[in-house]
Structure 1
Amino acid sequence: MHAKHSRTDPWSQTLCLLDSLSCTADGTRGNTVSIGRHAPRRVAAGACATGKRAAHIRVLDRPTSRTAIVTWGDPTSCHYGDQVWRIARASNDGFCALSGQQIRRGDVVYRPSHYRLAPANAGSMMLATCVLIAPIGH
């Protein structure tokens, strides 16, 4: 593995530290998020699990039966104007970034496509049923 790919960038580390120190409205400490190679994925999964869905997501197009073009904007980590998502099977449990519904391992989902560097939202998933009924471009 290339050394550049194994390091977490300072911004992601800062977000993880702030998240681990934050408190909820009732004064309890928020979920601690591990800092490491996959920190951006853990932050995204943790945010969905706790109901914090800060990302603004729109399905722009579904050019094929296996792909969707999505605009993804998260004020704390990333913005993608026209990101390609591909259909896959969920490799682990999680939550749909579009609807907040629970995802079980093996469910049909859309995931961000990547070939070289994984995007900041690489650990995110959207249920295929939600993507298929989402209004296009709205």
Structure 2
Amino acid sequence: MHAKHSRTDPWSQTLGLLHSLSRTDRTRCDAIPASRHAQRRVTSTGCADGERDANIRVLDRPTSRTAIVTWGDATSCHYGDQVWRVARASSDGFCALSGQQIHRGDVVYRPSHYRLAPANAGSMMLAACVLIAPIEC
């Protein structure tokens, strides 16, 4: 095995360090184990896979079934005022807002789309986390 393959990818390390510095003001509905979070941060590969740490803020909850969210992923996508709608999780995954595990059938918010699917279409946020997240301007 080559030495370069046994080390962590420098880009992943850089993203991990930037992420740890930016997490101080992020609201979470429940703490997650640090080791799990570190693993998520280093091994993430894409905006739509639900594993990348994105800068997520809830801007408004105009109805009981919708939320307006700002989603920003420096390496892949940015949405300034994306509409997310309540749904049932169709598969297992992780909450983009808190990192908690999501099981098939859980109540979640998902990005809505009518024509083209957004880059984060596969992402989900637990409804309980969205409902207690502070509204940010």
Name the TM-score, length of structure 1 as normaliser: 0.66
- With over 3 angstroms needed to count, the CA separation of the structure-2 counterparts of 1:124 and 1:32, relative to structure 1, is closer
Q: Which residue of 2 aligns with 1:58?
A: 57
Q: Unpaired segments of 5 or more residues in structure 2?
A: 10-41
Q: Which residue of 1 aligns with 2:35?
A: none
Q: Which residue of 1 aligns with 2:8?
A: 24
Q: Which residue of 2 aligns with 1:16?
A: none
Could you say what secondary structure the match of 1:122 adopts? coil
Letter in 2 for 1:102: Q
Q: Which residue of 2 aligns with 1:126?
A: 125
Contact 2:92 2:102 in 1 (8 A): yes
Give RMSD over aligned pairs.
Answer: 2.5
What is the deviation of 1:23? 5.5
Alignment of 1:74-85 (within 5 A): 74-85=73-84
- With over 3 angstroms needed to count, the CA separation of the structure-2 counterparts of 1:77 and 1:107, relative to structure 1, is same
Letter in 2 for 1:135: P
- With over 3 angstroms needed to count, the CA separation of the structure-2 counterparts of 1:79 and 1:63, relative to structure 1, is same
Q: Which has the higher contact order (CA 8 A, sep 6+)?
A: 2
Could you say what secondary structure the match of 1:131 adopts? helix
Work out the CA distance in 1 between the residues paired with 2:61 and 2:74: 25
- Deviations for 1:89-125, whole angstroms, at most 9, x for unmatched residues? 0000000000000000000000000000000000000
Question: Which of the pair is proportionally richer in helix?
Answer: 2
- With over 3 angstroms needed to count, the CA separation of the structure-2 counterparts of 1:32 and 1:109, relative to structure 1, is closer
Work out the CA distance in 2 between the residues paired with 1:22 and 1:57: 32
- With over 3 angstroms needed to count, the CA separation of the structure-2 counterparts of 1:23 and 1:133, relative to structure 1, is farther
Could you say what secondary structure the match of 2:87 adopts? strand
Work out the CA distance in 2 between the residues paired with 1:60 and 1:40: 20
Name the TM-score, length of structure 2 as normaliser: 0.66
- Deviations for 1:2-38, whole angstroms, at most 9, x for unmatched residues? xxxxxxxxxxxxxxxxxxx89637xxxx8697xxxxx
